[in-house]
């Protein structure tokens, strides 16, 4: 392989494999939403990569149409607080309730199916690291 072919191969490798890493979401996130106000417990550290390996994006990132169909994923969804307010406004749960329902509810359902899953008790998510 001559020098120009090697350079082109290296450039293609960079575009295909390295560039997407620049725009990917942080693998570990600290869930802090100022809309909730002062948190009574430590903030949750969330492993985004671990969850995306086994769940579809629309499981958490949703955008419902007027008929209640989830039509979106992460690229279409707005921030959670744009629909979920600090206090519940039926039929939508509060922001804190939405997080608890989504995370804890999924973990509890998996435990109910005898599948190993994540934490369900407060101190298991809200822990001092």
The domain ranges of the chain are: 26-125
Whether 33 contacts 81, CB under 8 Å? yes
Whether 119 contacts 105, CB under 8 Å? no
- Per-residue confidence (pLDDT) for residue 121, from 0 to 100: 94
Interval 44-95: pLDDT, tens:
999 999 998 988 888 888 888 888 888 875 566 578 888 899 999 998 899 9
Q: Pick from 80, 107, 105, 106: which is nearest to 95 by CA?
A: 80
The answer to whether the pTM exceeds 0.75 is: no
- Per-residue confidence (pLDDT) for residue 91, from 0 to 100: 87
Greater model confidence, 125 or 74: 125
Whether 121 contacts 41, CB under 8 Å? no
Q: SS3 for 92?
A: strand
Question: 26-125 has which fold?
Answer: Cytochrome C3 (3.90.10)
């Amino acid at each position: 392989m001559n020098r120009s072919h090697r350079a082109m191969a290296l450039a293609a490798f960079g575009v295909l494999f390295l560039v997407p890493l620049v725009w990917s979401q942080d693998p570990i996130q600290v869930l802090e939403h100022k809309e909730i106000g002062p948190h009574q417990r430590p903030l949750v550290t969330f492993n985004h990569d671990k969850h995306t390996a086994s769940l579809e994006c629309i499981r958490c990132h949703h955008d419902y149409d007027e008929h209640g169909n989830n039509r979106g994923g992460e690229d279409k969804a707005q921030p959670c607080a744009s629909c979920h307010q600090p206090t519940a406004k039926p039929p939508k749960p509060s922001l804190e309730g939405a997080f608890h329902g989504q995370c804890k509810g999924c973990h509890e359902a998996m435990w109910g199916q005898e599948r190993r899953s994540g934490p369900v008790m407060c101190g298991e998510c809200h822990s001092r690291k």
